[in-house]
Amino acid sequence: MNKLIYIMALLCIVPASSKAQSLRQPVSAIYLGQASYSTQFGDVFSYLNNQAALAQIKNVTAGVYGERRFLLSATSLYTVAVAIPTKNGNFGVNIKYSGFKNFNESQAGIAYARSLGSKVDVGIQFNYYGYKVPAYNSSSTVDFEIGAIVHLTDKFNMGVHMYNPVGGKFSTSNEKLTAAYKIGLGYD
């Protein structure tokens, strides 16, 4: 019985994912979400994983990120992001491109976030997403993502992020766009 409990606990602790649809995320651990739930380390890329993190950015910032997985141009991912703080909330603009000439995906997004008091940050982003396969098909759609971060204490934060929570289909096919749900904890 104890062995079964240990195996079940191990399965609950070990992260696992299953992907049936494309969802491009950077390999870098910082941009996988660590920075999204930290008040000490926040930069222009933080809001790409949870738009509520945009509320903590204090200065106009811009960044360019690129990676080439396995040193293959076909697995490239490039991102450009800009964050603009205002007194009524913060705005962000980002563009992502991945792939190569025979298959590529691109996304352009505009985000808005603000603090609701000292304990809660919320954010939303609207995206134009498209893919192109020259020999087969090209299609696009509009989607959105929404996030919230709760500052439980001065050092402990919790957040939730939903990408395309209502589903959606591409314009020229019945293929559904990926939906993703994330939850995270951060300790500063």
User: What local confidence, expressed as pLDDT, does residue 61 receive?
Assistant: 94
Residue type, 61: T
pLDDT tens readout for residues 44-54: 888 888 999 99
- CA 72 to each of CA 6, 68, 69, 80: distance values in angstroms, whole numbers, following the listed order: 40, 6, 6, 20
User: What local confidence, expressed as pLDDT, does residue 29 receive?
Assistant: 47
Share of the chain above pLDDT 90, in %: 45
Q: Residues 115, 23, 37, CA angle at the centre, nearest 5°? A: 30
pLDDT tens readout for residues 44-85: 888 888 999 999 999 999 999 888 888 888 888 999 999 999
- What whole-number distance in Å separates Cα of residue 148 and Cα of residue 123? 6
pLDDT tens readout for residues 13-33: 655 555 455 555 555 545 555
> Residues in the chain, how many?
188
pTM of the full predicted structure? 0.81
pLDDT tens readout for residues 76-123: 899 999 999 999 999 999 999 999 989 999 999 999 999 999 999 999
Using the structure block, give the residue that is written with the tokens 């019945």: 174
Beta bridge partners of 144: 126
* Predicted confidence band of residue 168 (pLDDT cuts 50, 70, 90): confident
